[in-house]
A and B are shown apart, each in its own frame.
Chain A
Amino acid sequence: MGDLFWILISAMVVNNFTLALFLGLCPFMGVSARVSTALRMGGANIFVLTITSLCAWLLNTFVLSYAPYLRLISFIVVIASLVQIVEMVIKKLSPALFRQLGIFLPLITTNCAILGLAIFQTNRGYGLLEGLFFAIGAGLGLTLALVLMASIRENTELADVPELAKGTALVLIIAGSLSLAFMGFAGLLSST
């Protein structure tokens, strides 16, 4: 059980998907202007990540042992279809939520974090439970990074930022400071 906990915490803060592993940067740059949007994007990501982890495990266990070279293609096809399905399901079940998420859902397909999760999970040989904890930790980490960035940006909206730095340059520099701060989590769960 301790192992699972380590996997979750590690994916969430020690090796944060965005701030340490550089995955999920497109939404990070584009979506992180408002805390409410960031939260919703993060939630959608957690959901898709968990299901992707499950599908990746299924694929790895039952199909891909016969054709390892088809791994990438099958992963990306599954992810694309998954996002389509999730979009349709949300549209059916909660049109309000669908309207709120809007453009974010299709954007999740090209989110390197989703594919990245599937690949990391495969490389590290995680089982079903480990993969799920990994996905939840990763999703929480992504959401955390998004929300932190969004709140900083909201707070600095009216700040006196030099003209040169406005825009992506500023976001990157803020991200650099966040990443530096998150490095403090290293060694968090190292037992004796």
Chain B
Amino acid sequence: MSHTPPPTAEPEVPAWRLIVTLGSAGAFAGFLLVFVFGMTAPTIRANKAAALQRAVQEVLHAPYRYDTLYVVESALRRQPPVGVDPENAEQIYLGYSAADEPIGFAIAAGEPGFQDVIGLIFGYDPTTRTVLGMKVLESKETPGLGDKIEKDSTFVRQFDGARAPLVGVKQGRASGSDPAEVDMITGATISSRAVIRIINNALERFEPLIRMYAAGDP
């Protein structure tokens, strides 16, 4: 016969016990979470910053350093908008060489592709109007087909030195004479078109801002 504790004598549990139980459970939970949060938050922030830095390094071809420019009221500023968490504010990055000369801007953008939103970052040199490089940050495109936009190195390398605005052409047709032409991927038409569209749209948005910034800043 298994040993079960005898049923409790009181027919009803007083309300204060319910509140105390939930309250103390909540307090304990909160305390524990604050503690773990304190321990993990710095690492998480560092990871995010490192990932961003790696991406910017890749698309701007290893700049010596880079500055963050925030979009504040349709203009680019070095300070984030007031009252907004810098991490969430819309921003682009300006890379400098070791000789302190600007290399180009790194812009992150995202738009719906074939399956879901494609997020990427690309480098851009406003003086020659060329794209410096492209890196897909987030994609849920079809494995084996759409995901070639990040896995096919030939496709990715094409963006190195492509002239904006980009023009997508059927695979193999990019003759090399028109620097704006980019070979799309056969079997991944919509995904590759999305990548080109994302870059063109982002440039349409940021070019005026960049020109204003370049004009106003020494």
Contacts and interface: CB of A to CB of B under 8 A. Distances in A.
Interface of A: 6, 10, 14-15, 65, 68-70, 73, 186-187, 189-192
B51 interface: no
Nearest to A189: B112
B114 interface: yes
Interface of B: 29-30, 33-34, 36-37, 85, 112-116, 142, 190, 193-194, 197
Given A70-B33, A187-B114, A190-B114, 16 more contacts: A15-B115, A69-B37, A70-B30, A73-B29, A73-B33, A186-B114, A186-B115, A186-B142, A187-B115, A187-B190, A189-B112, A190-B112, A190-B113, A190-B190, A190-B194, A192-B193
Contacts of A73: 29, 33
A84 to B, nearest CB: 14
A15 B117 CA distance: 11
Given A70-B30, A190-B190, A192-B197, A6 B112 contact: yes
B208 to A, nearest CB: 22
Contacts of B30: 70
B184 to A, nearest CB: 13
A191 B113 CA distance: 9
A145 B193 CA distance: 31
A10 B85 CA distance: 29
